[in-house]
Amino acid sequence: MPYTVINLGGVAIGVGIILMYLIRWWFKEKHQWTALLPFVLALIYGMLAALATFTAWSALGLVTWALIWVANVAGYAGLVWGVGGNSPIVVRGNPVVLTDGGFVIVFLLTLVFIALWKWAPKVPNGKLGAGVFSGMCLALSGSVAGAAAVPLGSAVNMLGVGFTGTFT
């Protein structure tokens, strides 16, 4: 698998999705916090998926790489051909490394995400998909969104220590 990188256009796509859902939440969903929760949780999962699969050969890694590639191409087209700007690479220098326990937590969260997608009728699949896509776009950036990956990765690693300590 190619080295997963994100360009400024891909990050712009991720931020744009967040802005669109915030506007939807404010006007259509009448700023009810419960309506925003599925998107935010999917956003966090998308960040974790991108961190867990950074240069990984796995099914989740291939999906993540493909979605980040789509974001990079669409964002590049929007910035360069759409408004005449540039789209440099903005990937973090040192991605967060997950422990074996951290990978277990990401695996479990992947199963939860699939179950929500398939069997939660009140949670719109579009909201889940947009949140995951946006999270993947932002997790590898070197900005504030990328910096959020450090506490997120650390928290997942800590949960993983508890999980592996319980079952090993």
Tens digit of each residue's pLDDT (9 = 90 or more) over 63-117: 988 999 999 999 999 999 999 998 888 876 666 678 889 999 999 999 999 999 9
Q: Residue 2 falls within a domain, yes or no?
A: no
Structural domain count, the chain: 1
Q: For residues 157 and 92, what is the distance between their CA atoms, to the nearest angstrom?
A: 19
Judged on CB neighbours under 10 Å (0-12, 13-18, 19+), 70 is: middle
Q: Residue 37 falls within a domain, yes or no?
A: yes
* Range 5-27 average pLDDT: 93
- Identify the pLDDT of residue 130: 96
- Identify the pLDDT of residue 1: 46
> Could you read off the pLDDT of 76-88 as tens digits, one per residue?
999 999 999 988 8
Q: Residue 3 falls within a domain, yes or no?
A: no
- CA 105 to chain CA mean position, Å: 15
What is the residue range of 80's domain?
8-167
Residue 3 has pLDDT above 70, yes or no: no
Residue 12 has pLDDT above 70, yes or no: yes
- Identify the pLDDT of residue 17: 97
Among the residues of 4-58, which ranges form H helices? 8-27, 33-52
Q: Residue 53 falls within a domain, yes or no?
A: yes
- Identify the pLDDT of residue 141: 85
Q: Residue 1 falls within a domain, yes or no?
A: no
What is the residue whose two structure tokens read 């992947």? Answer: 110
> Could you read off the pLDDT of 123-143 as tens digits, one per residue?
899 999 999 999 999 988 877
Q: Residue 124 falls within a domain, yes or no?
A: yes
Q: Residue 120 falls within a domain, yes or no?
A: yes
